[in-house]
Amino acid sequence: ARANWKDGFAAFGVNLGRNKVSTDDARWLLFQLGTSFSLLVLFFIVINRSLNHYISARVDYEIGINHFAPYCDYLVINISSPNTPGLRSMQRRADLEQLLLHTKYVLDHMKLETPPKMLLKIAPDLIDSEKKDIAKVVLNPKYGIDGLIVSNTTISRPASLVSDKRAESGGLSGAPLRQMSTECVREMYKYTKGQIPIVGCGVLLRSSSPWVSSHRKSKLHDSLVLSLMFDFLCASYLFSRGFFQIKRELAELLIRDGFTNVSEAVGADHRVKR
Contact in structure between 9 and 204 (CB atoms under 8 Å): no
Hey, what long-range contacts does 30-35 have (CB within 8 A, 24 or more apart)? 30/68, 30/71, 30/72, 31/71, 34/71
Query: Cα(27)–Cα(70) distance, rounded to whole angstroms?
Result: 10
Dihedral (CA of 53, 202, 171, 88) sign: positive
Instruction: Determine whether 80 is an active site residue.
Output: no
Query: Cα(48)–Cα(123) distance, rounded to whole angstroms?
Result: 13
Identified catalytic residue from 38, 50, 81, 156: 81
Contacts of 186 (CB under 8 A, 6+ apart): 220, 221, 269, 270
Query: Cα(84)–Cα(101) distance, rounded to whole angstroms?
Result: 22
Q: Are strands 117-122 and 198-200 parallel, antiparallel or unpaired?
A: unpaired
18-80-156-84 Cα dihedral, nearest 10 degrees:
40
Q: Which residues are catalytic?
A: 81
